[in-house]
Amino acid sequence: MTDLSLAFGIQRLTTTDASIQTDDLAHEALIRLQDANGTFVSLLGTPENLRSLFIGHCATEGYGEMNQAKLTTTTSKEHGYVVLSSDTLPNPPSTVNAERYVSTSCGACDSPGLEDLNNGLPTYLGEHRAVDLIILDAGFSAMKKMQVGFQTTGGMHGAGLLMPNTGLTYVAEDIGRHNAVDKVVGMALVNRTIEAKTILLLSGRCGWDIVAKSARAGIGTIACVGACSSLAAETARALGIRIFSFVKPSSCVAIGAIGASPNGKP
């Protein structure tokens, strides 16, 4: 067993044979984040880089800065992984259901209606850097090489921060897209190094939840190898955030292209 994967007994089937083997599966576990008042969210995710997950989740969900929090992690068969801060969240969620799990595929399921989702999300007011598609593609290639969990299991999402001064600086993986984003944001916040004009790289698609997290983290550009959803596109345009989806060395789909555009053309 590792933080990223678990060896699991499987049957390997072919058109002519069947055999009992083991395979490395993406590690998915219950993760509870707690402050001095108790559990404020229960996640299903990969139990790796849990300090970064805690700090990044607080930032991208608007609960406040917890960069300097003293965190302890415990694990048990009954409660899964528990990441505890002795401090309280500066802006705790108004309602908490500790027994409701945020799954690895859903980041917006607590919302009563789509029309309310964008309430309170900050508008991105920073500058946009000119983005060369070749540089974006190179960033994705570098990130892929660092995705050990995906290489091992084929079942992990990756997120990276491509910074103007330091390039691809942080990469995180998780069975859940939103958890991977929380982790990579947390990694940067621990070192206070989210530079202006940073680009969030996603190994898959971009949904509304990722745009919301980017807005709260102050990241104005998202690039992904997959598609973006209609609500992600609408929210990005409303908040001044850009999304480059289906990124390839010579093409992409641009949403909300405010300011500088791909390859520096207005």
**Topology annotation, domain 133-255:** Cytidine Deaminase; domain 2 (3.40.140)
pTM equals 0.90
The span from the first CA to the last CA of the chain, in angstroms, equals: 50
pLDDT of residue 179: 97
Which two three-digit tokens encode residue 158?
């990756």
Domain ranges for the chain, please list them.
29-104, 133-255
Listed in sequence order, the residues at least 6 apart from 182 whose beta carbon sits closer than 8 Å to its beta carbon are 52, 53, 56, 57, 60, 213
Q: Which of 58, 106, 109, 228 does the annotation list as catalytic?
A: 106
Buried b (16+ CB within 10 A) or exposed e, 140-157: beebeebbbbbebbebbb
Is pLDDT above 70 for 247?
A: yes
d(CA 181, CA 168): 14
| Across 94-98, average pLDDT | 72
Q: What percent of the chain has pLDDT over 90?
A: 72
DSSP 88: P
pLDDT of residue 105: 60
pLDDT of residue 94: 83
d(CA 196, CA 134): 20
pLDDT of residue 130: 83
Annotated catalytic residue 109: no
Q: What is the pLDDT of residues 157-171, one digit of tens each?
A: 999 999 998 999 999
| Across 24-38, average pLDDT | 94
Task: Quickly state the pLDDT bin for 91 (edges 50, 70, 90).
Answer: very high
| Across 113-136, average pLDDT | 82
Architecture of domain 29-104: Roll (3.10)
d(CA 239, CA 211): 9
d(CA 243, CA 232): 9
